[in-house]
Structure 1
Amino acid sequence: MGKIINTTDYLQSIVNNISREVFNYTPQLYLKKKGQDENIDVQAIASGVLITADRRYFLLTAGHVIEGRDPEDLGILVGNTFNILNGNIKYVNPYFDSVSFKTDIAIWELDENVAQSLTPTYNFLSLNQIDLHHSPLIKPQYLIVGYPWKKSKANPIKRKIKVRPFVFLTKQSQPDVYKKIKHEFHSNLILEYKQRQIKEFGSGIVKKGVNPEGISGCGVWFIPKFISTESVPEFKLVGIIIGQDQIKRNIISTRIHLVTEVLRIQFGLNIPASSITRIDIDNMS
């Protein structure tokens, strides 16, 4: 006879199973000191999502991660190896204007040899796992998985970094929040994260949540159905995290159709044009 579990335990197991899959596509991004080639010291700064299309490989992250930094100083760790992300970058500088601030995305096409160097640890998400026509719901069906930089601790003796990921199941914020924080429904997906009043999954205990700084660039994953015959239900990429509001009650993402528009226009991928909104390519670097 199989073990009977309650609803909370079941949901927790589903979130854990999906998160383990999402980790395969979600690297932490590091910054090395300028000019270092050996015995490199790195600092955790952000997160990203790896995708593939037409046998090409891309890293998605937030635009502010790229702005003001030399791309040759950014990389991903595989074991103790710092992999510099050679390739072609297109990004929106969020400091350019108010529209750019609300978009804040970066797409980095990786050289094939760089992509291959990541495969011992990571996989690349295919386009069929991206929902570019997603219609947001106010239901707890959105999973955020990223890496707060304050939770990444370096061990200089073992020359390793211990990371603690951020995994949070949440729902879309109420419609009036978009107006309050001056973001747009057609281009942003705002999600509840009341950092000072987080209810612990299972126990219901209210406590202060994790500071999410460093999850910028990670994905927002929509779970259409929790009940499934599979141990890992279907999940779709629907947004890229770009920040948190000033009162620390919401996490802001750019909707994924803006990313696919950049892939379509700037990188020439055969992707259907978005019917939701278009991106202004004039403010891209």
Structure 2
Amino acid sequence: MSDRSASSQSTDSTADEPAENISGGSDGGGAARVFEPATADTRAERVVDSLGERYWQKAYGGQDAFTCLVRTILSQNTSDVASQPAHDALIERYDSDGDDLAASLAAANRETLAETISSAGLYNQKARMIAEAAEWIVERFGSAASFDAFVTETDAETVRSELLDVRGVGPKTADCVLLFAGGRDGVFPVDTHVHRISRRMGLTPPDADHEEVREALEADVPPEKCGFGHTAMIQFGREFCSARTPACLDGPEACPLYDSCDRIGVTEETGSVVDPADAT
């Protein structure tokens, strides 16, 4: 077993959720939720229950909606570890005097904003996305507080539809706002980890796109477990089921979900790993 796998297996169900995560960790809103494993009706639910025996079990919600939107945009195409300092720097510069954050960012100098968030990568593009999202919120809702009320009080499909009309907001970003700010059960955001793992395990078709994976998981996982399933599957991807070197290459004992996985695209005998869609 590799050192990586041995270290990863030291994690247990008492572990705190990492702060370097779009969910914000233990201080990011939401509350502990307890569900009983071994009562699952679908294979996807059984996988989520297994993750619940290893990681935290949590319900989400309570984050400020605009702050969550900004944080999610910053996380696009980079790691949480890289985007967190950018988020902290942005908040310190534009939200330290108590002014409305959306109004501050709508009026911000784009070059200064880009410099502030440079650690997140693609900073010119992200600065434009954030500024335009702020302008939309000011024009459409008047303030970040009114946008927060819209996210928490309006039906989820309407919120999702309006968010998807904003430049830089894709399905994962919209779903993260619904989950972490709106506290909506039944929302299972699909990032690269969730997309890869669900197809590799055989929970969804190997050629399913992000939206098809989302629809399948939301259909097969009870609403109250979807948010936890999203964050725990990301953590499982970081610790065990990486894109190029999944733990199963070290043997069955290296992965806690080995017996639940079809390992589509992974050939243990040769060490070959391909995207499930490319597996023959």
TM, length-normalised to structure 1: 0.23
Q: Which has the higher helix share?
A: 2
Q: Which has the higher strand share?
A: 1
